Amino acid sequence: MNELIHFVESAVGFELNDKLKLILFSLSCKKACYCQLRISADNLDEKHHFEKHLKLLGFPFIVSKPKPYEEIVKVKKHWLVMDIKGIWYGYDVFQDDGAKRAFLRYKQLLKKGRISLADRIGGGLYGYPVCCTKAFIHGKAVFSPKTAFVVHGLCSVNCPASKKQNQKNISLIRKNAPGFYREFSKHLVVNAEVVVVEKLPENDYVACLKRINGKYVLFPLDVRLYPVGTVLKGVLRTRYNHASFRPERAFLRRILITRHLRGRI
C-alpha cells in the first residue's frame, strides 16, 4: 500500500486533485476512485508502473482509451495559445469486485436516465456523506477551501460531516503521505498580472500573463465588472489547489475613474 502512495506522490502525470483522490483511496477512505494520468515524453513509464501497483494490490480497474491533452504555451492578449503535449488515460479504480459491480450498475442507471438512484450509488462509492449526496442530486453542492482535503461538493460550507471527514483525511495524509501534504499545503503568494480570457454564465476565467512555477495558471474568478481582455494587476495566492486574486487598489481606482469619465463623454 505504501509503495502505491509513494508512487503517486512522485508521479508527474497526476494533477494534485487526482493525487489526493488516489491517496485517500489507497488509505481505504473510498470504495472507488476516478483519476486521470497524463503521459508525455517526460513520464513514458508511469502508466506501466501505475497499473503494476494496482495489480499487485489486487485493485480492479477500468482504463479508458488514450486521448490527447493540451497545455497553455502562451497567453497573447486575451487569447490562450494551446499545444498538444501528450495523451491521458482515465482510470476507475475499485477496492474490490463488489465496488466494481456497483460502479457498472451506476453507469447502467445513468444510461437509463435514473439519475437520482445512480447518484446515490455513486455517492456511496466515492465517500460522499448522505447530506452532500442529496445536495449534489439537487444541484446545490458548494465547494470551500476550508475543506480542501475532501473531494466532493458540500451541502453547505458548514457541513459537519464534511468537516469531520476533512480533519480525518488531514491526519491520515500527514501520517502516510507527508510529501504530498507539504506539496498540497504549500502557500504561494506572488505579484502577478492576469487577463480576463473567458466569460461564462457560471464563471469568468482569468489567466496569468507569466508562468507560475513553470506553468500558466488558469482559474475561475468573479470579474463581472471587467470585459474580456482586461488586464488586472494584483496579488495571486494559491493553496490546496485553489487560487484567489486580489487586484491592487490603485489599479482598480484607475479602472473605475476611466469608466466614470467614459460615462460622461
Q: For residue range 7-20, what is the model confidence (pLDDT) as tens digits?
A: 999 999 999 999 99
- Reported as a single tens digit per residue, the pLDDT across 185-236 is 998 899 999 988 887 777 788 888 899 888 888 888 777 778 888 888 899 8
Residue 228 confidence (pLDDT): 86
Provide the pLDDT for residue 240: 85
Kindly indicate the confidence band of residue 257, based on its pLDDT and cuts at 50, 70 and 90: very low
Tens-digit pLDDT profile for residues 151-184: 999 999 999 999 999 999 999 999 999 999 999 9
Query: What's the chain's average pLDDT?
Result: 89
pLDDT computed for residue 252 by the predictor: 52
State the pLDDT at residue 87.
97
Residue pair 157/166 in contact (Cβ under 8 Å)? The answer is no
